[in-house]
Structure 1
Amino acid sequence: MTALSTLVGDVDEFFSGYLGRTALHRPGAASELPNLISVEDIDRVLTGSALRTPGVRIAKDGAVIPADRYVSKSTLGYADLGDVVDPVKAVRLFRGGATIVLGTVNLLLPHLHELCKDIETDLGHPVDANVYAAPPHARAFEVHCDAQDIIIVQIHGGKRWELFDAIVPNPGGGKVLTDLGASSSLYELREGDVLYVPRGMPHLVRTADSSSIHLTISINTMTWADLLRGMTQEILRSDAFAGALPLGRDVAERVAPMVGKYAGLLSAALIDRATPDSVHRIIYGRTAFADGLGTGLFRQALLDEPIALSDPISLRPGTWPVFTGDGRLTTGPGGLRLPREIAETCRRLHDGPLKVAELSPAPEEALKIADTLVKLGLCTTGS
């Protein structure tokens, strides 16, 4: 059972019946994910991590509180910093009715980062996590909709979610809405409950008599516009579109009849480029997909334990190598290009772990491939 199936139930049913369409409430589902995130984790992040804005936002009654009310001057080594969150000021605002939002907190908590990478593997889209800590009788934001599908996990206390039966197409992040004229449904979340909210579904969130902490897992879906824009940008860098427009006072008039010709060239190039490898490169070449789960990478280097042919080898969770048309692959933000045999091994490992001995008929070559993949941070070995 994967993390996603634990949260939403049958994944195929979730994709076909709920994703992008309607809400899903699963009472107690998160209780099957032990050590998800604790109050102690959140306290440690907020009070002991030297957080800087915009990693923290604080809001109350529909308004975001200016950062200068909860940051203080600080130093990091010899560097003077002016945007470090002061935990005393932040907690004072919390006591005064404000909600504290910790952004992309998965990057600060390894076990939560692993959860997000696990979910990414099932979804094929980047995933991150925010934490919302609210005092009793709090309302951080007005009725709004999000640009992402979100999975809510209630960590502490309770929270009331009012979801409106109207999906806003092409929603902007945090878009505030008025005069909805739509019916709504109320969901009272308790610890361990899970609530899925489709992107574009308006909602209002409040606490009652108790404080609350909930985790928002955001699914940062790529749109058709994103894909076509990426493919088009690649095409427009080619020589076919590098020529200058005509010169003269009547440039617009002379160019207008020629646009159809170049639009046709662009359309044909898009169709010709729509191969699995090319589309894979655009989708998984984004920054959010550049690196897999790095936990244990330093320990692996420090201990430098030898790799055995009998060891299992697998891709790190969240690793999506970008394959090129020549059979090789590019991976990581630096655009590192790797040999054909490495690319082929990564293709095979997408289907699941293998034994190191299965990487090549020649034992020395198998060990060399495994060693390269481990040192590049693409794979892990051992149980």
Structure 2
Amino acid sequence: MTSLTDQVGAESEERPSSGLSRLLHPVPLPTFRDEYWERRPLHIPRNDPEYFADLLTLDDVDRVLGQSGPDFGNVRVIREGKETPVSELGAPGRNMTASRLEALYERYRSGSTVILNALERRWEPLARFTAMLSAEVNARFQVNVYLTPGGQARGFDPHYDSHDVIVMQAYGSKRWRLYGAPYALPLEGQRYDHSGEVPEVEEEFDLQPGSLLYLPRGTVHAATSNDAASMHLTFGVHPVLIPALISEAVREVFEGDERFRRSMPLGFADDKHLQEQAEDVFAELIDALAARLSPQGMTARAVKQTTSLAPVTLRGHLGDLESLPRLDLDTRVRRRPGLRWSMALGEEVVELEFHSKTVQLPVHVADEVRFVTESDGQGFTASSIPGGLDQPGCLLLVRTLVREGFLTLS
């Protein structure tokens, strides 16, 4: 890895308060996008134990573990690559939560790594932060937390992930070894082959408190704790992938066009004439497929898919529903913060897609819907919506979008 100080300004520059810029500081976003993203690892050294304290602390993990019983479904226990199912921990009894919690801590005290999977689903600071990152990056984020005791403990053998990861060292330090990328940008089904020889170490360093490490998918790595305990957060990055977009588009063509669903001719393997006929059919179908998969259409499909990657943000929705009967022309509303959406205009309806669902509205309210989607965080009232729709219609539009969770009361 290239030395960080060769490329960016001094650490003393004022750091951003939120988002990807905060994680990468002092590396500029354009530098990360053009030189590191899906290309090579990036280590940003810091020695600031409080840099990620607003997201998660060691005391917070105690609290989360205490609230995870009785099944502890999102908690894993790993030692030297071997996992012990949490369902096997604890002694049968009336208080299984207490028994399994004590067993988890005993495993940790004995050298096991405790992993909290998908913590952004149940820890509010991480939920807010990942929602912000998702809107900025156009990707889904999953946060796994790794708590490793001191004494050279290791959770996993050298391996690579089939998604990019951003590692944030929140407590203690950890020794990382990077072994290169034998297979660049593997897809989800292309798992690391553990049967071969482990490649030579290319980089080795301690990740200090407050430091960050970015690893493109396919980078073989392993980490061990030092003398003291270590806690790091791994943000798994799941963006819109080109292969998935093309596969989905091709599948839709196959489902909608009978020509693509036919079999090869009977006896073609031993008949040269049938093989030549098949070549003509393939030429026709490949041309038809290329005509259906335009660059503009594929890009629009990618934009639309980002709406399903963002987390559902419905904080305050129950209160909005209770206030809905009293919502009038002068009630101030706003687009829900962190929301991702797409809008498509058809011949008869406007389709507004968000939260992995589609809301259809009459096409004659397209201008009003566009105003609502493009409104800023300051909010608006039904009476202030421009366009040709009368005020009762504007009120109905606002009430509909509050009920569906697109709008929230300011």
Instruction: State the TM-score, normalizing by the size of structure 1.
Output: 0.82
- 2:229 match: 211
Question: Which structure 2 residues correspond to residues 249-260 of structure 1 after superposition, within 5 A?
Answer: 250=268, 254=274, 256-257=278-279, 258-260=281-283
Q: Check if 1:122 corresponds to 2:136.
A: yes
Question: Which structure 2 residues correspond to residues 99-248 of structure 1 after superposition, within 5 A?
Answer: 99-137=113-151, 138-166=153-181, 168-171=183-186, 175=192, 179-241=197-259, 244-245=262-263, 248=266
Change (3 A) 1:183 1:60: closer
- 1:266 match: 289
Aligned partner (choices 331, 356, 373) of residue 401 of structure 2: 373
Change (3 A) 1:125 1:259: same
Q: What is the one-letter code of the residue matched to 2:247? A: R
- 1:70 match: 89
Q: CA deviation at 1:53?
A: 6.7
Change (3 A) 1:348 1:15: farther
- 2:23 match: 7
Q: Tell me the SS of whatever aligns to 1:42.
A: helix
Q: CA deviation at 1:181?
A: 4.0
Q: CA deviation at 1:154?
A: 1.7
* Range 3-12 or range 299-308, more displaced: 299-308
Q: What is the one-letter code of the residue matched to 2:179? A: F
Q: CA deviation at 1:310?
A: 7.4
Q: CA deviation at 1:249?
A: 5.2
Aligned partner (choices 291, 299, 317) of residue 297 of structure 1: 317
Q: Tell me the SS of whatever aligns to 1:328.
A: strand
Q: Check if 1:44 corresponds to 2:44.
A: no
Number of residue-to-residue matches in the alignment: 373
* Range 257-266 or range 336-345, more displaced: 336-345
**Structure 2 residues not aligned, in runs of 5+:** 1-15
Residues 337 and 377, structure 2, Cα contact 8 Å, conserved in 1: no
Q: CA deviation at 1:206?
A: 0.7
- 2:306 match: 284
The CA deviation string for residues 132-164 of structure 1, in whole angstroms up to 9 with x for no partner, is: 111112100011111121111222222122223
Change (3 A) 1:323 1:51: farther
The CA deviation string for residues 106-144 of structure 1, in whole angstroms up to 9 with x for no partner, is: 001122111101001111111111111111121000111
Q: CA deviation at 1:292?
A: 2.6
CA distance in 1, matches of 2:49, 2:402: 33
Q: Check if 1:56 corresponds to 2:78.
A: no
Residues 315 and 379, structure 1, Cα contact 8 Å, conserved in 2: yes
Q: CA deviation at 1:229?
A: 0.8
CA distance in 1, matches of 2:123, 2:240: 25
Q: What is the one-letter code of the residue matched to 1:175? A: Y
Q: Check if 1:360 corresponds to 2:381.
A: no
Question: Which structure 2 residues correspond to residues 89-104 of structure 1 after superposition, within 5 A?
Answer: 89-104=103-118
Q: CA deviation at 1:86?
A: 2.6
Residues 57 and 101, structure 1, Cα contact 8 Å, conserved in 2: yes
Q: Tell me the SS of whatever aligns to 1:355.
A: coil
* Range 191-200 or range 43-52, more displaced: 43-52
Identity over aligned pairs, percent: 20
Instruction: State the TM-score, normalizing by the size of structure 2.
Output: 0.77
Change (3 A) 1:270 1:315: same
Residues 160 and 221, structure 2, Cα contact 8 Å, conserved in 1: yes
Q: CA deviation at 1:225?
A: 0.7
Q: What is the one-letter code of the residue matched to 2:54? A: N
* Range 152-161 or range 372-381, more displaced: 372-381
**Structure 1 residues not aligned, in runs of 5+:** 76-81
